[in-house]
């Protein structure tokens, strides 16, 4: 067990007097249950109910008042503690809509009781199966694969982790930290492979885990829909998604199929609800807010870089590489940036301006204060960033950024049309701290 950022969030939530029940959302095997159990080590009364286990859900089907329900659970679990020092954890809550619907009544009738609910398929079930979301009566938190700083903490590289917060990052540490970041990207941020890595397990053992997890994702597909035809579409999209990661996709015929746009769109949105893929749509604005255009073709990203590397068969091949820009045509680097932005609360969106016969695209946009900063993930020289130049010619400011494998630098450049701008160059591993770097950059670095 190793520390995750979500644990600090949970600890803060538990200590508040005005807390509401907490819904933890995230894909299968991202560490939701482990984080709650770590929180529970400090709580005298801990009640964990796995609603997929036989017999655990029966108490929720009796239509008991909230106090009687809790009394029945405490009696069953042999826990007798005051409400203010008790935590009720409803795990895999999607397996019992009645339990999910009880959350509202527990909050209203037993406000001193701390309640957490979670489930690997919760995102796909809310709104279906009689599960109405208790709007205004709950809080939400999301669990993603480990970020790089969490990975460094897990593998005992605290000194590297502390360097990530230094602005600017020191040049002397670049090679060492970049090497660790490349290993992290190839292994990925799913907690179990990281745990296996700490145990000294070989890559072959980790790959068996990736294989079994991908099969588990496929086994979950029947739970998303009752229709056999849609199950086939979802399964096809899940199997095809890694091969199209980092690219703009068309729904119609996705993955060399004969499926129609409506079918593929519904399937991919279902997988996005389950947090297995991310559809990143383009925006055309050069000033905030960046409004994704859902009518345009999106880019597709996968849950985790390690799962992606395994799925496309390049994990063994690139293990030991020092440059992510050369791995899987640079897509692995863009995948890692996309999943990191999501983990730090920056919803990924890219910029596109399309005209007849041409299209300018910038990999990502990030709002910093009252400006939209364009961000590229490139290995090429600054002079070849043509789409970035197009954005800069249109925007009202002079700041841009790119991720690459080199040190922190600031270039002063000029677009083809003669506009002066500054380009912040960051090593990939600093994406987690992008907001702080943009503040530093735009305030006169």
Among 10-19, 102-111, 349-358, whose mean pLDDT is lowest? 349-358
In tens, the pLDDT along 420-440 reads 999 999 999 999 999 999 999
Q: Write down the pLDDT at residue 217.
A: 95
Among 132-136, 194-198, 400-404, whose mean pLDDT is lowest? 132-136
Separation between Cα atoms, residue 77 and residue 16, nearest integer Å: 26
Which pair of tokens denotes residue 52?
A: 């997929």
Among 3-17, 24-38, 241-255, 322-336, whose mean pLDDT is lowest? 322-336
Q: Write down the pLDDT at residue 317.
A: 78
Among candidate residues 10, 33, 20, 224, the one with its CA nearest the CA of residue 123: 224
At residue 337, φ and ψ (nearest 5 deg) are -65, -45
Q: Write down the pLDDT at residue 133.
A: 67
Q: Write down the pLDDT at residue 131.
A: 66
Separation between Cα atoms, residue 138 and residue 104, nearest integer Å: 8
CATH numbers and ranges of domains, the chain: 5-142 (3.40.50.300), 149-281+293-343 (no CATH), 350-442 (no CATH)
In tens, the pLDDT along 40-52 reads 999 999 999 999 8
Among candidate residues 301, 302, 299, 341, the one with its CA nearest the CA of residue 431: 341
Q: What is the mean predicted confidence (pLDDT) over 230-248?
A: 97
Q: Write down the pLDDT at residue 271.
A: 95
| Whether residue 383 has pLDDT greater than 70 | no
Q: What is the mean predicted confidence (pLDDT) over 35-40?
A: 97
* Strand-pair category, 139-142 with 114-119: unpaired
Peptide bond into 289 cis (omega under 30): yes
| Whether residue 298 has pLDDT greater than 60 | yes
| Whether residue 113 has pLDDT greater than 70 | yes
Separation between Cα atoms, residue 165 and residue 6, nearest integer Å: 19
Separation between Cα atoms, residue 432 and residue 443, nearest integer Å: 19
Separation between Cα atoms, residue 67 and residue 175, nearest integer Å: 58
Q: Write down the pLDDT at residue 382.
A: 55
Which residue bears the tokens 């903490």? 153
Q: Write down the pLDDT at residue 379.
A: 55
For the beta sheet containing 282-283, the strands, ordered from the edge strand earlier in sequence to the opposite edge, are 282-283, 350-355, 358-362
Separation between Cα atoms, residue 145 and residue 27, nearest integer Å: 9
Distance of CA 202 to the CA centre of its chain: 26
Q: What is the mean predicted confidence (pLDDT) over 86-108?
A: 92
Separation between Cα atoms, residue 192 and residue 231, nearest integer Å: 28
Which residues, other chains included, contact 353 with Cβ-Cβ below 8 Å and sequence gap of 6+?
284, 359, 360, 390, 391, 394
Q: How confident is the model at residue 381 (pLDDT cuts 50, 70, 90)?
A: low
Task: Report the percent of the chain where pLDDT is more than 90.
Answer: 80
At residue 67, φ and ψ (nearest 5 deg) are -65, -40
Q: Identify the residue with better confidence: 323 or 270.
A: 270
Q: How confident is the model at residue 380 (pLDDT cuts 50, 70, 90)?
A: low
Burial class of 330 by CB neighbour count within 10 A (0 to 12, 13 to 18, 19+): middle
Q: Write down the pLDDT at residue 121.
A: 75
Helix (H) or strand (E) holding 300: strand 299-302
DSSP letter string, 265-284: HHHHHHHHHTTSEEEE-EE-
Contact 144, 189 (CB under 8 A): yes
Helix (H) or strand (E) holding 353: strand 350-355
Q: Write down the pLDDT at residue 299.
A: 98
Q: Identify the residue with better confidence: 380 or 282.
A: 282
Q: Write down the pLDDT at residue 35.
A: 96
Q: How confident is the model at residue 128 (pLDDT cuts 50, 70, 90)?
A: low
Contact 377, 334 (CB under 8 A): yes
Q: Identify the residue with better confidence: 55 or 160.
A: 160
Q: What is the mean predicted confidence (pLDDT) over 213-226?
A: 91
Q: Write down the pLDDT at residue 137.
A: 84
Q: What is the mean predicted confidence (pLDDT) over 291-311?
A: 96
Average pLDDT of the chain is 92
Among 177-181, 194-198, 328-332, 402-406, whose mean pLDDT is lowest? 328-332
Which pair of tokens denotes residue 251?
A: 């729904």
Which residue bears the tokens 């990502």? 364
């Amino acid at each position: 067990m190793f520390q995750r950022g979500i644990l600090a969030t949970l600890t803060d939530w538990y200590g508040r007097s005005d807390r509401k029940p907490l819904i933890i959302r995230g894909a299968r095997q991202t560490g939701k249950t482990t984080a709650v159990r770590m929180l529970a080590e400090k709580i005298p009364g801990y009640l964990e109910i796995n609603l997929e286990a036989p017999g655990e859900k029966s108490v929720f089907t009796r239509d008991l008042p909230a106090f009687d329900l809790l009394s029945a659970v405490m009696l069953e679990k042999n826990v007798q503690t005051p409400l203010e020092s008790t935590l009720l954890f409803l795990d895999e809550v999607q397996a019992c809509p009645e339990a999910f619907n009880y959350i509202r009544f527990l909050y209203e009738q037993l406000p001193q009781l701390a309640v957490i609910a979670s489930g690997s398929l919760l995102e796909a079930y809310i709104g279906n199966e009689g599960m109405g979301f208790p709007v205004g009566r709950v809080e939400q938190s999301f669990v993603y694969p480990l970020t790089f700083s969490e990975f460094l903490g897990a593998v005992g590289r605290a000194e590297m982790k502390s360097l990530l917060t230094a602005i600017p990052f020191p040049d002397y540490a670049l090679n060492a930290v970049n090497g660790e970041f490349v290993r992290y990207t190839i292994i990925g941020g799913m907690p179990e492979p990281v745990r296996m890595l700490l145990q000294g397990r070989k890559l072959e053992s980790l790959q068996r885990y990736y294989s079994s997890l991908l099969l588990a994702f496929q086994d979950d597909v029947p739970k998303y829909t009752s229709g056999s035809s849609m199950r086939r579409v979802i399964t096809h999209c899940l199997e095809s998604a890694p091969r199209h990661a980092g690219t703009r996709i068309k729904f119609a015929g996705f993955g060399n199929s004969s499926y129609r746009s409506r079918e593929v769109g519904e399937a991919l949105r279902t997988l996005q609800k389950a947090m297995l893929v991310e559809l990143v749509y383009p925006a055309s604005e050069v000033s905030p807010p960046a409004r994704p255009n859902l009518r345009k073709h999106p880019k597709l990203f996968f849950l985790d870089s390690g799962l992606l590397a395994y799925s496309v068969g390049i994990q063994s091949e690139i293990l030991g590489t020092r440059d992510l820009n050369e791995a899987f045509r640079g897509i692995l680097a863009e995948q890692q940036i996309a999943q990191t932005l999501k983990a730090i609360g920056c919803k990924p969106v890219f910029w596109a301006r399309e005209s007849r016969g041409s299209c300018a695209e910038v990999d990502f946009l990030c709002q910093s204060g009252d400006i939209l900063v364009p961000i590229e993930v490139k290995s090429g020289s600054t002079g070849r960033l043509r789409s970035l130049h197009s954005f800069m010619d249109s925007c009202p400011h002079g700041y841009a950024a790119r991720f690459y494998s080199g040190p922190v630098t600031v270039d002063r450049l000029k677009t083809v049309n003669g506009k002066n701008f500054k380009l912040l160059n960051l090593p990939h591993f600093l994406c987690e701290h992008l907001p702080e770097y943009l503040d530093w950059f735009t305030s006169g670095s």
